[in-house]
Structures are given as structure tokens and as C-alpha cells.
Amino acid sequence: MSVAKTIAATPCPQLERGMTLIELMLAMLIGLFLMLGTLTVFQQSRTNFRVSDSMARLQENTRFMLDVIEPDLRLAKFWGRSAEPGLIDSIIPAAVVVTCDTVDTSAAMVPPTTYTAWALNLNREIWAVDESSGYGHATLGIPCAPQGAAQPQSDALVVRHASAQTTPATPGTIQVHTDLMRGEIFNDGVVPVGYAAAAQTHDVVTNVYYVSQSSDMDPAMPSLRMKTLVPGGRHQDQEIMSGVENLQIQLGVDTDDDGEVERYVDADHDIINPTTGGTIPDAQIIAARLWVLVRTDAIEVGFIDNAQYPTPDPDVVVVPCAPGGGCAYPNNFRRLGVSTTVALRNNR
């Protein structure tokens, strides 16, 4: 009797069921969707980071380039104690010679000249070569060939002035010595005599900015380059920054001597072009407007640049094209176009 009661009191075990195949497949499908969502967010975040990093680098490069050119422009027509190049002796000593480091075409200019006379033309403190004329134009061009080939549709800029800081007289370096009444150029390291006690000596600066189709790092990469005077009188070609595709310059002109810009014009415009009949003799260049187009150093896989880039010059619109076949603006790079206006304080 007691045995039977014991058996009856023992609880019956519960039936435990596992996941069915359908439930397992649903769980795997949900997990797969979650993983795909996570991967998509990760991929988009990485893409956004790359784009943001590329644009940040473009902005940084553009700021650097403008930081190089802008101070140079602001010094245009600065000649130490004098801001009037007409007070500086126009007779350049025979020992002062400026040489071109590539091909000197000055003898073929119209009218013919020497490269020394062109480089030390103190009366033209700022000048630009418009793309419609071309870097090698016989009258409006630059008589020192570019390194490689100049970028089509791009302008060039010429700036002349004295160095911002006074310098000791140094043999072999082209310098200018000025007081308030006169000045002269020398390179023998001997300061000219007969000047006021407050006279100053500065290095002569002649810089030519242009865009080349090649870079020192990559022959297929365009770059901003500069020809600058170095000791020995050589106009040395130096690379400033790779990835610069276009430089446009317009000059702000004061035509009525009121200290205000009446209009911005290309460098070969009639009112400032000495070879045309429409030149205004008293017109003063008192500002310069720069526009630059910069691209990334490397292509971006899957990216196609379909934008058009209008420039301050209505004759030039940069249209990216399919790489190959002489395309100057390949469409598989990101780009940034930036403009700035610089007042020429010594020309007012």
C-alpha cells in the first residue's frame, strides 16, 4: 500500500521542445539583415570619411597656395624706401644679368628684348598672361619657357617688387638700394654711395606663377609652379603644389584715379593692353582677382565628376572629361574651385 502511494506522488516530467527549422531560418534571416545594415552603415561612414578627408585636403592645399601668392601680390610695387619705380635708375649695370633656366625666347619678343630687361622691368610691377594670348605670346607672353608644357586655358601671373625685409649687400644677389629720392640696382655686394642715411637695401623679387601639365612627383599630374630669382641671377623654376589644374587672373582697374576699381578685366583687355588703340594711359591696376581649381592627388574609385566649373573669365569654363586622349581635366578626380580678391596697397 505504501509503495503504490509513493509511485503516485512522483511528478510526471515536462515535455521540452527545441526551435523548429522555420524558427531557426527566421532567426538567421533577421541576423543577416542586421549584419547587412551594419555593413551598409560602416561602408557609408567610410565613404563619407574619405570624401570629407579629400575635401579637407583640397581646402588645405588651396589655402596654402593662396597664402603663397597673396603676400607676394600685396608687395607689388614695393621698392624699399621708394614706391615709385620711376625714381630708380633705369640703366641696369652690365654685370647684372638674369638668365632663364629653361628656354630664353626674349630675342623673339615683339619688340625684341633681353631676359634681364624683361625680368627687371620695374615699371610693370604686376602683369598677367591671359589664356587667349598664351604663355608664349610674342608680345604679351613670358620669354622663359615653362617647365614641360603650360596647362591650356590657364593664365600666368608676374609680380615684381623688393623683398619684404631689408637684406645685407650680398655678392651675386640682385638687389636694390633706395632712399626717398632715388635708387639703383646692383649685384656686386657693394652698397651704392651717395644715398641718405635712411636708405635701405632689399633683394629684387620677380616671380612668375603658372600651371604646368606635369609635376615633379607625377608627370601626369598638373602643378602650380613659380619661376623666382635666386642668387646668381638665375630665374629658377620651382614647384609650389601639385594638383592645381587652372589659374585665372583678372586685374581690377581704376580708370578715373578715384582709388576704386571700376572693372575687372583680363590681362589682354584693350584698356590695359599697350599693343591696342583702346589703352587708357592713366589706368591703374589696384587689385587682382584669383581663381584656382585644385584636384585630389589620387582618383576616387566609382566617382565621376560631372560638374562644370565657370571661371571669372567668361571665355573659360572647365568641363571634366573622360581620361585619355589628351584630356586635361580627367573626370575621376574630386575638385574644388576657390576665388579671392587682393588689394594692391602700393598701387593706390
**97-128 pLDDT, tens digit each:** 999 999 999 999 999 999 999 999 998 999 99
Q: What is the number of domains present in the chain? A: 1
- How much is the pLDDT for 113? 94
Q: pLDDT by residue (tens digit) across 299-319?
A: 888 889 999 999 988 889 999
- How much is the pLDDT for 92? 93
Asked whether residue 330 is domain-assigned, the answer is yes
- How much is the pLDDT for 10? 57
Q: pLDDT by residue (tens digit) across 54-113?
A: 778 888 888 888 899 999 999 999 999 987 888 899 899 999 999 999 999 999 999 999
Is the per-residue pLDDT at 17 higher than 80?
Answer: no
- How much is the pLDDT for 1? 46
Asked whether residue 191 is domain-assigned, the answer is yes
Q: Could you tell me the three cell numbers for 50? A: 574619405
Asked whether residue 317 is domain-assigned, the answer is yes
**Cα dihedral 136, 137, 143, 149 in deg (nearest 10):** -10
> Mean pLDDT over residues 15-41, rounded?
80
Is the per-residue pLDDT at 51 higher than 90?
Answer: no
Asked whether residue 38 is domain-assigned, the answer is no
- How much is the pLDDT for 288? 94
Which of residues 287 and 13 earns the better pLDDT score?
Answer: 287
φ, ψ at 134 (rounded to 5°): 100, 150
**Cell 575687372 sits at which residue?**
264
First to last CA, the chain: 126
Nearest to 209 by CA among 308, 28, 48, 342: 342
- 4-7 contacts: CB < 8 A, separation 24 or more? none
- Contact indicator for 92, 120 with CB cutoff of 8 Å: yes
In this prediction, residue 237 has a pLDDT band, given cuts at 50, 70 and 90, of very high
Helical segments of the chain, H only? 2-9, 21-74, 115-119
DSSP 233: T
Asked whether residue 185 is domain-assigned, the answer is yes
> Mean pLDDT over residues 318-345, rounded?
90
- Contact indicator for 346, 75 with CB cutoff of 8 Å: yes
Asked whether residue 301 is domain-assigned, the answer is yes
Domain limits for position 340: 52-347
- Contact indicator for 223, 203 with CB cutoff of 8 Å: no
Asked whether residue 245 is domain-assigned, the answer is yes
CB atoms within 10 A of CB 244: 27
Asked whether residue 47 is domain-assigned, the answer is no
